[in-house]
Amino acid sequence: MSAPASCPQNGAANAAAPLIEFKDITKTYGQGQAAFQALCGVDMNVHPGEFVAIMGPSGSGKSTAMNILGCLDSPSAGAYLFQGVHVENLGRNQRALLRRSFLGFVFQGFNLLARTSAQENVELPLLYRGEPPETRHQAAREALALVGLHGWEHHTPAELSGGQQQRVAIARAIVTHPLVLLADEPTGNLDSKRSHEIMELLVRLNQERRITVLMVTHEAEMAAYARRAVHFVDGLVDSDFGQEGKTCS
């Protein structure tokens, strides 16, 4: 299924232009006295190939921002541009198509189907796309090999360690060759050794595959793997720094 004319196109972005732009993004939940403003006018750009850690205390707005980035929620006001396309103006089906075509998701809880093999879990996004079986099988095997799980294709999640399960989840996220990988606390359920292994894998995918990575984390040790850290406080971007300590533009 091809993207509609109003959706972004693969390869359409100018490398010098932002891949993602937030312009005065606000998000309000509820109405009247019960209204809560989760985002209060956020401006943020992300360029192709960046690795950005999104940080902040509970209630800071970082998860809301990630949900909007992933087309899982819509802003109350402001503009969200993806490859220059105004996402806030897209309909539900177009947002779903953008999400399926350009974005990959990795979650803290892995979200794997329990009685389904690693390969079958990785094939799911391709199944939703209507890809034929042999195409799905080959792509899933390649994605699993890329994350270091060659030979583990037919194991179920119960037969895999936590780190291996997260690798399966990452393979599932990248099997569609997304432009952007959105990772929400990807090491939150892992021990220290496995956490560093997963972060090294994300860095490799970012550097070698040029996948733009946006990662929500509360752990400074994990955020140190990113080349840029954006800190949210009270629904606003409080600071935006590269790992050398220079403010990002």
Three-class secondary structure assignment of 81-137: EECCEEHHHCCHHHHHHHHHHHEEEEECCCCCCCCCCHHHHHHHHHHHHCCCHHHHH
User: Residue 167 has which token pair?
Assistant: 């690798």
Q: Note the CATH architecture for domain 20-242.
A: 3-Layer(aba) Sandwich (3.40)
The pLDDT value given to residue 10 = 52
Please state the domain extents for the chain. Answer: 20-242
Nearest to 6 by CA among 116, 125, 87, 115: 87
Please write the tens of the pLDDT for every residue from 73-119: 999 999 999 999 999 999 999 999 999 999 999 999 999 999 999 99
Cα separation, 62 vs 216, whole angstroms: 7
> Does residue 247 or residue 143 have the better pLDDT?
143
E-strand ranges in the chain read: 20-29, 36-46, 51-55, 77-82, 85-86, 103-107, 180-184, 212-216, 228-233, 236-242
Please write the tens of the pLDDT for every residue from 150-195: 999 999 999 999 999 999 999 999 999 999 999 999 999 999 999 9
Looking at residue 64, its amino acid is T
